[in-house]
Amino acid sequence: MTTTELHGDAHGVLRSAASAGIQRLRQGELGMLPVIVGLIVIWAYFESQVSVYLSARNLSYLVLQIAPIGIVAIGIVLVLLLGEIDLSVGSVAGLCSAVLGVGMVDRGWPWWGAILIMVGVGAAIGAFQGWWFAVVGVPAFVVTLAGFLFWQGAQLRVLGSTGTVNVFEPHIGAIAQSFLPSYWGWILGVGLAALYAVRAWTTYARRAHAELSNEPVGLLAVRTALVAAVAVGSVAVLNSYQGVPTAGVILLGLVIAFSWLTTRTKFGTYVFAIGGNAEAARRAGIKVARIRILVFTLSGFMAAVGGLMFVSRLTAASTQTGAGTFLLESIAAAVIGGTSLFGGRGSVWSALLGALVIGSVSNGLDLQAQPPEIKYMVEGAILLAAVTVDAVARRSRAAAGR
């Protein structure tokens, strides 16, 4: 192939990408692009202000910092896809962490048994709130707001007068305090790149075989190469410090699992259908109440897993677990990542991207020694911008559909 032909192919890919981007912009189909661009801008800004911001050590700390928020945000994404909200996840995470700590320290439960019980408690709380919303008919906002207060009180009751239970258990501590050996990190990075490539090209082949519209093959190749570069490059950076944090692997594994659940199963199809139009979904034969209860059950389960991550990282269950801005940051992560507040649109991957945005801003401001009020104002502005983009995109889609 000549140099002229190579240049022609490159220009063709760029033209295809630009044309596809303009078309999606007109239709309000922005996807995750604004989040990724925003994340690049945030990293570039803080790196220019603090030279250690993108160091391997700080990025490793960032992964540990976002793990609880990202995990809980996965459950929030599922609820938002229904067009609902769960305001109780912070309190549920706190209560479940208290159950874990008190059970192990005061009751002598084995570590694995304590984990099973705590996630069971979280799932049961979610199922109860989902039933109250879906069957009794009380709006989810009210049910989970009541849960926010009630489960916080239950957390204080379980912890008792001390308010803190120290958990020095090696298996629990390893969840958020250990790192993968370097070779396992490389296997993970290469494996993720290969998995994405196989899935992307298989989907392309299936659509081509069915004579459906497809993105240009050159654009697909570029996207596959970028994902591979990010996966392998991230492992290379983290391995230069202590390795890939186990907490990050757990977060990524949960994102992949729930992404498959929402995009490759009937359950996921039903969730999107209910979020788009609950009445139409009901007329189509979907058991709306059952799906809603299952979604809130999963949200409670993920809140419990987030509480477990807190206990592992801090080696304690306390009244501060799940408190403060944790609830709002978890919801903000889901929304900032691109999940619509209006239901029916979004991706589980938005939990990871949104948590990265929230964590990156918080981490950068901490390195600059900015006071808490600055952090709150910046995070609030980012959330407002994300919701504004969502609202504008929704109007664009409505206009394009007319």
> Which tens digits make up the pLDDT trace of 141-175?
999 999 999 999 999 999 988 888 998 899 999 99
pLDDT at residue 19, rounded to an integer: 53
On whether the CB atoms of residues 58 and 363 are closer than 8 A, the answer is yes
Same domain, 44 and 149: yes
Last residue in a domain, options 215, 244, 273:
244
Same domain, 277 and 360: yes
SS3 245: strand
Same domain, 133 and 277: yes
pLDDT at residue 29, rounded to an integer: 53
pLDDT at residue 30, rounded to an integer: 58
On whether the CB atoms of residues 92 and 72 are closer than 8 A, the answer is no
Last residue in a domain, options 209, 244, 279:
244
Residue 12 resides in a domain = no
Last residue in a domain, options 190, 212, 244:
244
pLDDT at residue 31, rounded to an integer: 64
Same domain, 155 and 87: yes
Residue 11 resides in a domain = no
pLDDT at residue 51, rounded to an integer: 87
Low-confidence ranges of the chain (pLDDT < 70): 1-31, 394, 396-402
Same domain, 105 and 117: yes
Same domain, 188 and 304: no
The Cα–Cα gap between 192 and 224 comes to 11
CATH code of the domain containing 289:
1.10.3470
Q: Is the pTM of this model over 0.75?
A: yes
Residue numbers of the domain that contains 340: 31-178+262-401
pLDDT at residue 212, rounded to an integer: 79
Closest of 322, 274, 253, 338 to residue 77, by C-alpha: 338
The Cα–Cα gap between 145 and 296 comes to 14
Same domain, 146 and 282: yes
On whether the CB atoms of residues 79 and 343 are closer than 8 A, the answer is no
pLDDT at residue 183, rounded to an integer: 92
Same domain, 214 and 192: yes
Q: How many domains does the chain have?
A: 2
Same domain, 69 and 149: yes
Same domain, 142 and 165: yes
